[in-house]
Amino acid sequence: MSQLPPEVYQLIDAAIAEDQTFNDPTSQVLIPAEIIGVGMLRAKASGILAGMDVAGAVFHRVDQDLEVQALLAEGAALAPGSEIGTVTGSAGSILRAERIALNFLQRMSGIASDTNTYVRAVAGCGARIVDTRKTAPGHRYLDKYAVRMGGGHNHRMNLADGILIKDNHIEALRSQEVGLKEVIQRALAGASHTIKVEVEVETLEGVREAVDAGAHIIMLDNMAVDTMREAMQIVKGRAVVEASGGIDLETVRAVAETGVDLISIGGLTHSTRALDISLDLEFT
């Protein structure tokens, strides 16, 4: 198992405290300390694996003597019955850690699986599927890692990663009679040389202004597919183009075929469906 960032261990510790893992009367009363078992982690649905290292860290946090072995690599395809990994040792410890480990593993694998569905939907078009900052509080590192395991790519990890001028920024400055072009120029003038400037636009006129102002990335927000095609003709390769807003599996292929570079899907992380994974305790 690989080393994880400190914030992930803090998240695991918070989950252990929340679940009162070390105050479990069920295991304490019923399971003698000498009972040794093997917990087999199995997929009960098709998808993509993500989070085995985190699940392993949970087991080790609860009992450092538990032995965890991953049987599949991160990003591996899963089918019902796929054996993901094993955890061997005190049956009581395995049972105390089970739910927390599965919560992480199921959420992360669900995100990876949903992401991969979108990635396959746009195969051959050249557009990247990217996530957003619409992540569960405290889970951003894990949510975005899971997106990568599903074949997607990460947008900003946090506010410090770039300048993204959204509608509310534009409206705030418009109240001072500052137009979109000047907003972008101010951002470019004040940005570090390592920072990209992205601007959200909703109209073709906004696209023209953004291109003329020199924005590095132009986000087409909630645009119809036909309008996106017109926008791409205006940009003509002078900026990276991102499509965003209301895009789902029914529309993502058509959006990708307009030639956009990026397609951001907030639902990858804010509305994820956990992948069904179980732990079956076995004894020898």
Please state whether the predicted TM-score (pTM) of the whole model is above 0.75. Answer: yes
- Residue 22 burial (CB < 10 Å; 0-12/13-18/19+)? exposed
Residue 106 lies in a domain: yes
Residues 97 and 157 in one domain: no
Residue 11 lies in a domain: yes
Tell me, what DSSP letter sits at residue 214?
A: T
Q: Nearest 5 degrees, angle CA 149-CA 152-CA 155?
A: 115
CATH number of 193's domain: 3.20.20.70
pLDDT of 48 strictly over 80: yes
Residues 169 and 63 in one domain: no
Helix (H) or strand (E) holding 5: none
CATH number of 97's domain: 3.90.1170.20
Q: pLDDT-derived band of residue 1, with 50, 70 and 90 as boundaries?
A: low
Q: Averaged over 81-89, what is the pLDDT?
A: 98
Tell me, what DSSP letter sits at residue 239?
A: S
Domain extent at residue 193: 123-270
Residues 262 and 129 in one domain: yes
Residues 40 and 92 in one domain: yes
Residues 86 and 161 in one domain: no
Residues 171 and 74 in one domain: no
Residue 1 lies in a domain: no
**Count of domains observed in the chain:** 2
Residue 187 lies in a domain: yes
- The count of C-alpha atoms lying within 13 angstroms of the C-alpha of 110, restricted to the half-sphere facing its C-beta, is 17
Residues 92 and 128 in one domain: no
Q: pLDDT-derived band of residue 172, with 50, 70 and 90 as boundaries?
A: confident
Q: Which of 61-75, 85-99, 160-174 has the lowest mean pLDDT?
A: 160-174
Residues 18 and 94 in one domain: yes
146/135 Cα distance (integer angstroms):
11
Active site residues: 99, 134, 166, 200, 221
For 91-178, strand residue ranges (E) read: 128-130, 163-165
Residue where the block lists tokens 């500052």: 178
pLDDT of 2 strictly over 80: no
Q: Averaged over 162-175, what is the pLDDT?
A: 90
Q: Which of 124, 123, 141 has its CA nearest to residue 133? A: 141
Q: Which of 219, 265, 220 has its CA nearest to residue 246? A: 265
| Residue 140: predicted pLDDT | 96
Q: Which two tokens stand for residue 185?
A: 């120029």
Q: Averaged over 47-68, what is the pLDDT?
A: 97
pLDDT per residue over 205-226, tens digit each?
999 999 999 999 999 999 999 9
Residue 218 lies in a domain: yes
pLDDT of 249 strictly over 90: yes
pLDDT of 170 strictly over 90: no
Per the model's pLDDT, the better-predicted residue between 25 and 254 turns out to be 254
Residue 175 lies in a domain: yes
Residues 87 and 184 in one domain: no
Residues 71 and 193 in one domain: no
Q: What is the mean pLDDT of the chain?
A: 95
Residue type, 93: S
Q: Which two tokens stand for residue 269?
A: 């992380």
> Which residues, 6 or more positions from 249, have their beta carbon under 8 angstroms from its beta carbon?
117, 118, 121
Q: Averaged over 175-200, what is the pLDDT?
A: 92
3-class DSSP state of 151: coil
Q: Which two tokens stand for residue 239?
A: 């900026």
Q: Averaged over 100-127, what is the pLDDT?
A: 98
Residues 172 and 95 in one domain: no
**Percent of the chain clearing pLDDT 90 (strictly above):** 88
Per the model's pLDDT, the better-predicted residue between 17 and 172 turns out to be 17
Residues 151 and 265 in one domain: yes
